[in-house]
Amino acid sequence: MKKQLLLLSFLLIATGVFAQLTVKPNGSTDSYIYVKDQIVYVENDINLTKNPTDSVEASIYLRDNGQLIQGGTTSTNTGDGFLSVQQNTDPTNTFAYYYWCSPVGNPAATGTYAGSNKHFGINSIYEAKSGALGTNAQMADNVASRNGFTNPRLTISRRWIYTHPQPGSEAEGNYVRINAENSVRAGLGFTMKGVNIGTDPGNIITGVGTDHDQTYEFRGRPNSGSFTVPVAAPVDGVPQMTLSGNPYASALDLNQLFYDTGNEDLGQFWYYDEDRTVPSHLYTDKPFGYGVWTPGSEDTNGDLTDNDPPGNYTRASFYIWNAAGGSTSTGTNGTTINQKRYAPIGQGIMFVGKNDGNVTIKNSHRIFVKEGAPGSVFQRPTDDISISNTRDIGELTASLPSELDTRDPQTRIYAVFDDALTRDMLLVFSDQATDGYDRGYDGLSPMGMKTDAYFPVGNDSDRLPYVINAVNYDENKQIPINFKLNKTTEIKLLIAEEVKKPYEKIFLYDRQDNSFRRIGTRLTFPFSLTLDAGHYDNRFFIVFKKAEYRNNSSTASIEDQEKIIASVAMFQNNPQKQLEISNPEGHTIKSAIVYDMNGKMVIQKQNLGTNNSYSFYTGNLSDGVYLVKLTTKDDITIDYKAIVHNK
């Protein structure tokens, strides 16, 4: 039997549970539910009818962390009434982007999705007229010019309303402009710039923004049911992203979403961040990037609200992107805050694919976690701890005592280039991890920097760059770290944070000269190395003790390794201008790579097979000494120094 709830006055409701819920006026008398700091759960559908009085036109008000959760798999919500819920942006100004995902759709929209969910447009955004806890609000206005403002009323620039509905790169062509139309499909996210406080500052391109805390009120039919988000595997090594987020009027548990059956094609989540010191609207002037979050292990401890595990996060490095998706590094970085597990109401997130497929967001992933609780912070781009050459980086510490910190053992490393550009990288140590790709732990690099560092993860023929890399700790382990340099560069590796570290010391091992450099903070064990432009692959490794390293990634016995090494011969035939390899016993050669003495890769051959001999042309190489590395299918590495003389 349908429950009908008629409320003739203000109602402060405690935790409520309804099978079905109808809220409509009693003739000319307004009826509404006011939910403050509590949760309302509705098992089935909600029917809302708009009230006749403008000051209380909505049927349900969620205030001060009030949230609504619905059951079922398909939305059957109906009516022209509104749910009202607020979210704020602090700080914001006319130049400040945020990524959003609306919890409501416009009842007047013609488009529906996944049942009765309505499409969204910015005409569903309102301005509160009676404070953060009040019921009175007016629809925000919008303009086509570049600037939004607050006086005489909240006015949003519709020029910057975009969605990224299909998997793709950061290229401008992958974004779709929405303007003020009701065309954002429920479950997809959208971009929106903030507003200046005060009157319209004019059609400026650059200038000083007026930072303030702006509250936006979403009014419309509450989203419910399941939402399908398309994702895709990296294309030519470039990660593919789709703008989605939390489509509900409650928190969304990303750990449950990630590990739900059928969502295996999802790889990680990216959070937009930007350099707020640059007052520009222009795509080609605005430095921004993406922080990377992975959930860690699946939560099976019986308490989904304890933020255990909290997941892993690396901050964004900022770039200036061009329309084709290329970029220029800027030397600044984003927020360090890792409170991402429970996406708050309104949070927009890039879903980044592992494979081609779909991800389904469900009512079962909804959870009552108050915003501001551990694991639930709306992504507010701020300069909380800037990484630049003006700050002392490498001195961060864990925010909680070790016994209270639920994170896996981990080490945060900053790769700093010329005391300007910085890449935040995270090593996670877990018994559940492997040396290969570990879904839920490893996070793809957003890339973008022409000078960069990353962990190469995956098979030799299909390795990708990662900024979060989980491994099973072993003191003898070698963890490869690659550098990509577009010019001669000074590199510093600094420890920014250590959480329950399993090792005593950590080093950078240079395989070329068999040297070890202790990695510490800026104040302890500082070091730098200068390398020429090039791609340094299979040369540098993170290790945990000083030793003579050779072929220890192979599972073959030392005796078998020595036999294979002895049976393979290499010779630099300068008269014929070729490197010759003899493999009389037909061992399977997985790769052959040639480096110059600066570590730059000049020849790379993959999956050579079991031939008895190979030859590679070297007539295009400069005279000098080169390091040749053969790797067999058993991960046995055979080294040879070739002296090339072409004159």
Condensed to tens digits (0 to 9), the pLDDT of residues 476-502 reads: 899 999 999 999 999 999 999 999 999
CB 76 within 8 A of CB 145: no
Residue 160 has pLDDT above 90, yes or no: yes
Residue 550 confidence (pLDDT): 52
Percent of the chain clearing pLDDT 70 (strictly above): 90
Specify the DSSP element, H or E, that contains 259.
helix 254-259
Give the chain's domains with CATH numbers.
Answer: 4-300+308-367 (no CATH), 410-543 (no CATH), 558-644 (2.60.40.3080)
Q: How far is CA 355 from CA 223, 234, 268, 568, in A?
A: 27, 8, 11, 38
**pTM of the complete model:** 0.84
C-beta pairs of 1-9 under 8 Å, 24+ apart in sequence: 5/31, 5/33, 6/31, 7/31, 7/32, 7/33
Residue 546 confidence (pLDDT): 85
CB 82 within 8 A of CB 123: no
Residue 3 confidence (pLDDT): 37
Q: What are phi and psi of 259, to 5 degrees?
A: -95, 5
Mean pLDDT in the chain? 88
3-state class (DSSP) for residue 161:
coil
Q: What is the largest CA-CA distance in the chain?
A: 100
Q: Please state the rounded mean pLDDT for residues 206-226.
A: 91
What the block records as the tokens of 455 is: 């962990």
Residue 558 confidence (pLDDT): 62
**CA dihedral over 180, 181, 184, 186, signed as positive or negative:** positive
3-state class (DSSP) for residue 547:
coil
Residue 432 has pLDDT above 70, yes or no: yes
User: In a 10 Å sphere around its CB, with 0-12 CB exposed, 13-18 middle and 19+ buried, how is residue 206 labelled?
Assistant: exposed
Specify the DSSP element, H or E, that contains 92.
strand 83-92
Residue 556's pLDDT band, with cuts at 50, 70 and 90, is low
3-state class (DSSP) for residue 270:
strand
Which of 62-76, 320-334, 572-586 shows the lowest mean pLDDT across its residues? Answer: 320-334
Characterize the bridge pairing of strands 83-92 and 60-63. Answer: parallel
Characterize the bridge pairing of strands 421-429 and 464-471. Answer: parallel
Question: Which residues face 216 on adjacent strands?
Answer: 87
CB 149 within 8 A of CB 142: no
Residue 19 has pLDDT above 60, yes or no: yes
Rama region for 370: left / alpha / beta (φ>0; ψ in -120 to 50; rest): beta
Question: Which residues face 487 on adjacent strands?
Answer: none
Residue 6 confidence (pLDDT): 40
Residue 512 confidence (pLDDT): 86
What the block records as the tokens of 50 is: 């708009």
Q: Which 8-state DSSP code applies to residue 254?
A: H
pLDDT tens digits along 400-418? 555 578 899 999 999 999 9
Q: What are phi and psi of 127, to 5 degrees?
A: -115, 125
CA angle 238, 246, 341 (to 5 degrees): 75
Percent of the chain clearing pLDDT 90 (strictly above): 65
How long is the chain?
A: 647
Residue 421 has pLDDT above 80, yes or no: yes
Residue 598's pLDDT band, with cuts at 50, 70 and 90, is low
CB 493 within 8 A of CB 417: no
- Give the C-alpha separation, 275 to 39, whole Å: 36
Residue 449 has pLDDT above 70, yes or no: yes
Centre a 10 Å sphere on the Cβ of residue 208 and count the other Cβ atoms it contains. 12
- CA 175, distance to chain mean position in Å, is 18
Place of tokens 């910057």: 160
Residue 403 confidence (pLDDT): 55
Comparison of pLDDT for 362 and 383, the residue scoring more: 362
3-state secondary structure 237-248: CECCEEEEECCC
What the block records as the tokens of 257 is: 């979403």
Centre a 10 Å sphere on the Cβ of residue 496 and count the other Cβ atoms it contains. 23
Residue 461's pLDDT band, with cuts at 50, 70 and 90, is low
Q: Please state the rounded mean pLDDT for residues 72-81.
A: 94
Residue 433 has pLDDT above 50, yes or no: yes
- Give the C-alpha separation, 149 to 202, whole Å: 10
Which of 38-47, 197-206, 544-553, 620-629 shows the lowest mean pLDDT across its residues? Answer: 544-553
CB 291 within 8 A of CB 445: no
User: In a 10 Å sphere around its CB, with 0-12 CB exposed, 13-18 middle and 19+ buried, how is residue 130 labelled?
Assistant: exposed
Residue 626's pLDDT band, with cuts at 50, 70 and 90, is confident
The alpha-helical segments, DSSP class H, found in 286-416 are none
Residue 250's pLDDT band, with cuts at 50, 70 and 90, is very high
Residue 533's pLDDT band, with cuts at 50, 70 and 90, is very high
Residue 163 has pLDDT above 50, yes or no: yes
- Give the C-alpha separation, 379 to 33, whole Å: 29
Residue 629 confidence (pLDDT): 87
Q: Please state the rounded mean pLDDT for residues 437-450.
A: 93
> What are the residues whose beta carbons fall under 8 Å from the beta carbon of 545, sequence distance 6 or more?
475, 476, 505, 507
CB 473 within 8 A of CB 429: yes
Comparison of pLDDT for 392 and 437, the residue scoring more: 437
pLDDT tens digits along 85-143? 999 999 899 999 999 999 999 999 998 999 999 999 999 999 999 888 999 999 999 99
- Give the C-alpha separation, 97 to 189, whole Å: 13
Q: Please state the rounded mean pLDDT for residues 510-532.
A: 88
Residue 540 has pLDDT above 70, yes or no: yes
- Give the C-alpha separation, 549 to 572, whole Å: 25
In angstroms, the first-to-last Cα distance of the chain is 93
Residue 579 has pLDDT above 60, yes or no: yes
DSSP string, 559-603: HHHHHHHHH-EEEEETTTTEEEEE-TT-PPEEEEEEEETTS-EEE
Residue 555 confidence (pLDDT): 60
pLDDT tens digits along 282-291? 877 888 999 9
Q: Please state the rounded mean pLDDT for residues 512-522.
A: 89
Residue 391 confidence (pLDDT): 39
Q: How many helices (H) and strands (E) does the chain have?
A: 2, 53
